[in-house]
Amino acid sequence: MKISPSILSADFANLQRDIELVEKSGVDYIHVDVMDGHFVPNITFGPDVIKAIRPVTKLPLDTHLMIDNPESYIDAFAEAGADIIGVHVEATAHIHRALQMIKNKNVQAEVVINPGTPVESIRHVLSMVDQVLVMTVNPGFGGQFFIEETLSKIQQLAKLKDEHGYNYDIEVDGGIVPETAKRCKEAGANVFVAGSYIYGAEQPKEKIQLLKEAVEG
Ligand code: DX5
Ligand code: ZN
């Protein structure tokens, strides 16, 4: 079980402090939400921000691209220091090519699906990915409510993984709190992104502990 705090809910004026804070609390990844104002109605970080935070932490940077034409930026994010790069199947006509480009940079390749997108749409790239991200909210903003219907897609992905011997981790992102994390775990997820639950708290360390207990217990 892995915890990946999303710095979308961190203090952007104190990213180093907020990354060190969660690293000391014992998390597994740092989740970086890249938004372009086209694929999603919000704008966040580019490759230069990844480059700036790279020396601040030893943790892998779990980079979630919510951008159109991700192929145009994969090399830049890989060279900036991303360890995992996730591309949305909805954002490109050439998901196979995009994932291949990530692997060619020796970066872990992740495919991402929105709440309204079926597992069938990524069926033919499952054998090549290191991680599948099931969005449990519509991407763009932190602090939204978990969408129940996504649970059955986690189950489907766990089943396909079992049946075919695939190697991917199953990550969930959006509305994750201990209660929803536990249900996602029961459905088959093993990587949990949480933004507002962790960074919105007075004591992020305690919240990280509660999340861990929910998924490890
Ligand atoms: C949403 C982002 C998430 C976001 C999750 O578009 O992909 O990573 O930070 O935020 P919470 O945990 O607050 O729902
Ligand atoms: Zn995300």
Which one, of 101, 77, 163, lies nearest residue 126 by Cα?
163
Q: Residues at the annotated binding site?
A: 6, 31, 33, 64, 140-143, 173-175, 195-196
Q: What is the pLDDT of residue 74?
A: 98
Q: What is the pLDDT of residue 15?
A: 98
Q: What is the pLDDT of residue 190?
A: 98
Run means of pLDDT, 10 residues per run, the chain, 217 residues:
98 98 98 98 98 98 98 98 98 98 98 98 98 99 98 98 98 98 98 98 98 95
Do the beta carbons of residue 24 and residue 54 sit within 8 Å?
Answer: no
Q: For ligand 1, what atom is nearest to the CA of residue 176? A: 12
Do the beta carbons of residue 178 and residue 210 sit within 8 Å?
Answer: yes
110 CB under 6 A from ligand 1? no
Q: What is the pLDDT of residue 217?
A: 77
Ligand (nearest to CA of 195): 1
Q: For ligand 1, what atom is nearest to the CA of residue 42? A: 6
In order of their start, the domains of the chain are 2-216 (3.20.20.70)
| Packing angle, helices 15-24 and 204-216, rounded to 10 | 40
Q: Which among 33, 64, 88 is the best mutation to test ligand 1's pocket, defined by most ligand atoms within 8 Å of the CB? A: 33
Active site residue 68: no
d(CA 139, CA 160): 25
Q: Two tokens at 184? A: 């996602």
Q: For ligand 1, what atom is nearest to the CA of residue 6? A: 9
